[in-house]
Structure 1
Amino acid sequence: MDLAGVDARAPRVCFLATACGDSSAVIRDFYDMAHETGFHGTHLQLFTMPNVDDMREHLLTQDVIWVWGGSVAGLLAMWELHGVGDLMREAWEAGVVLTGVSAGSICWHVGGTTDSFGPELRPISNGLGLVPFSNGVHYDSEEQRRPLFQSLVASGQLPAGYATDDGVGVLYRGTEFAEALTEKQGRAAYLVERGADGAAVETRLETRLLR
């Protein structure tokens, strides 16, 4: 909300739960939170059909677009089918703040690791690529995430990228990394790059605690 820079009115926040099949319970929880927090909430759903007549107008009039987690492969497929990816790029270029968690974080990047296809994690590399990095989510809470993300970067299957423990986010301004932030003390973000010897190099980043 701070990044949107809105004064004198409630920020407009559009919620997308595409990655969890537009779960009615998740969408309901979003509106409850919007009411409690005091921002103007809307949502865009694609199942079983879009709930707005003009998706472009709807997305470009938002201050913040917030994307929920679930299947990033399913999210990207549905967005491609409905042209949402192109609209997200247009919204981003117009200055709308784009954010999200898990699948809703990976989607803005080139790719990352996903359990969209089953319990054995696999790479995904058809993200929107608004920023030219890969993204490693759930870095501290799911044991397959860290080694797979490092191996994908080391092999060149994914570009260098930023990984986050649960409760941590990375902020970009344009296509440049700005800072890492955490809502939980002691959690971290990491830059993972391919070293000169072809091995992954992980650098722990300082995080700013949100209060």
Structure 2
Amino acid sequence: MPASVPTIVATSGGYRPGQRSRLEFNALVHHAVDRSGVHGRTPRLTYLGTASGDQDWRIASMHEAGRVAGFDVSALRLFTMPNVADIEAHLLAQDVVWVDGGSVANLLAVWRVHGLDEIFRRVWDAGVVLAGVSAGSICWFTGGTTDSFGPGLRPVTNGLGLLPYANGVHYDSESRRRPLVHELVGSGVLGETHCTDDGVGLVYEGTDLAEVVAERRDVAAYRVVRAADGAVQEERWQPRLLASA
């Protein structure tokens, strides 16, 4: 069954080192599956590696992570052409769409060429959970900060806009992220911005924040806004710690 409301799980996490494989799905991916409401059958998750060019080794790692987790994992490739005849039908048949990190600027450009900007809105409305990490988090928002253009972080402002906020990822692990978010919010380049430390996920029902969750301790999420007097204000959101998957 689809999620009861359109749901997005936007994260700075989702993976952990595997015991017998390169990686395994961590609690944030499992929570996205839980949010889909699937029961009585194997959950279906499709992986999009567009932001890193649909690398074979990465896709193989996701299939292996799915086997360990007990998920039916498929991959939607767009390089060098779509690997399915009907992209929308493929996505609508899933419980969760998981989008990996990489270049969010390239991801958005390629998605728009293939009409995924419009397709994802319909898939979201149909109850398929949209989720991802880093670039796979920023894409659902109006924009955020990115290293898509080089080592120096820059703003990206052409996200899909399913969520009417900007997004900051890796807030605790990359020292340039927080000051740039504050600068961009203060100058009006970004509006209200929701940020995540590594291991934290933001869960939205429709466009409303429903909960903040984490797969590790001592991390948080943040809301950054520009006040009426022009000052930038940061509010800390304490997450609920998820059980280990």
TM-score band by shorter chain is: over 0.9
Give aligned-pair identity as a percent. 56
1:93 corresponds to which of 125, 137, 146:
125
Aligned equivalent of 1:124: 156
Deviation at 1:57, TM superposition (A): 0.5
2:111 is the counterpart of 1:64: no
Aligned equivalent of 2:37: 5
Which amino acid is 1:174 matched to? G
Which amino acid is 1:62 matched to? Q
2:70 is the counterpart of 1:38: yes
The alignment of Structure 1 onto Structure 2 pairs a total of residues equal to: 211
CA distance in 1, matches of 2:232, 2:54: 36
Aligned equivalent of 2:10: none
Aligned equivalent of 2:236: 204
Q: Write the mapping of 1:127-146 to structure 2, written as runs, cut at 5 A.
A: 127-146=159-178
The normalised TM-score by structure 1 is 0.98
1:24-46 deviation line (CA, Å, top 9, x unaligned): 11100110011111111111011
Q: Point out which structure has higher relative CO (alpha carbons under 8 A, 6+ apart).
A: 2
1:89-132 deviation line (CA, Å, top 9, x unaligned): 11001111000000000000000000000011000000000010
Taking only aligned residues, the RMSD between alpha carbons, in angstroms, comes to 0.7
CA distance in 2, matches of 1:166, 1:172: 18
Q: Write the mapping of 1:13-32 to structure 2, written as runs, cut at 5 A.
A: 13-32=45-64
Which amino acid is 1:170 matched to? L
Which amino acid is 1:183 matched to? E
2:135 is the counterpart of 1:103: yes
Deviation at 1:139, TM superposition (A): 0.6
Runs of 4+ aligned residues of structure 1 deviating over 3 Å after TM superposition are none
CA distance in 2, matches of 1:92, 1:21: 24
CA distance in 1, matches of 2:232, 2:49: 33
The normalised TM-score by structure 2 is 0.85
CA distance in 2, matches of 1:149, 1:171: 20
Aligned equivalent of 1:152: 184
CA distance in 2, matches of 1:12, 1:85: 22
Deviation at 1:7, TM superposition (A): 1.1
Which amino acid is 2:82 matched to? P
